[in-house]
């Protein structure tokens, strides 16, 4: 009984390691941490649609990452705290692209979409690319509508 329990534990550990190895490359890298002392935060007046409330209050958040010089503005909502949160997330995404390049989350997502599109085009080409049966051959110019209808029906008498 003891040997069987250890075997089950060992087999489940092996399966866990296999799955970890298999999914490790597709797992996104963590977003870089933002250090608050490296940020310069400004609250500026909002612009655009939203009425008097947007134009009178300073809810638009502008973050500047001092070491890199990246600036992010956010005015997605009418609430300053929510805009601060969204601006920090956007800054993290930009820093991720800057640090990781092709391994960033955005680049991986873009590559995945591009690969799916490529596969769709490949399938469509395979399915529809070699059909020449539906083409109508015409020896000369088509003058009237009746000649066009005759060609479409398969009558080639002109």
Q: Which helix (H) or strand (E) holds 73?
A: strand 71-74
**pLDDT attached to residue 52:** 81
pLDDT in tens, the chain (158 residues): 555 455 555 556 555 555 555 444 567 778 888 889 999 999 999 888 877 888 888 999 999 999 999 999 999 988 999 999 999 999 999 999 998 888 888 888 899 999 999 999 999 988 887 555 455 555 566 566 666 566 666 665 54
Torsion of CA 117, 119, 122, 128, to 10 degrees: -80
> 31, 96 in Cβ contact below 8 A?
yes
Q: Which domains occur in the chain, in start order?
A: 36-105 (3.30.160.20)
Q: Which helix (H) or strand (E) holds 43?
A: strand 39-44
């Amino acid at each position: 009984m003891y040997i069987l329990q250890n075997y089950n534990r060992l087999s489940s550990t092996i399966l866990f390691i296999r799955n970890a190895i298999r999914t490790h490359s597709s797992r996104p890298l963590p977003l870089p941490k933002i250090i608050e002392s490296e940020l310069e935060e400004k609250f500026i007046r909002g612009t655009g649609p939203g009425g008097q409330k947007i134009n009178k209050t300073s809810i638009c958040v502008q973050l500047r990452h001092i070491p890199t010089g990246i600036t992010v503005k956010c005015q997605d909502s009418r609430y300053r705290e929510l805009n601060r949160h969204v601006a920090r997330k956007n800054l993290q995404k930009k820093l991720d692209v800057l640090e990781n390049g092709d391994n960033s989350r955005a680049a991986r997502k873009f590559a995945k979409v591009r690969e799916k599109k490529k596969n769709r085009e490949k399938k469509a080409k395979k399915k529809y690319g070699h059909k020449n049966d539906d083409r109508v051959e015409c020896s000369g110019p088509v003058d009237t509508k009746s000649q066009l209808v005759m060609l479409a029906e398969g009558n080639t008498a002109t």
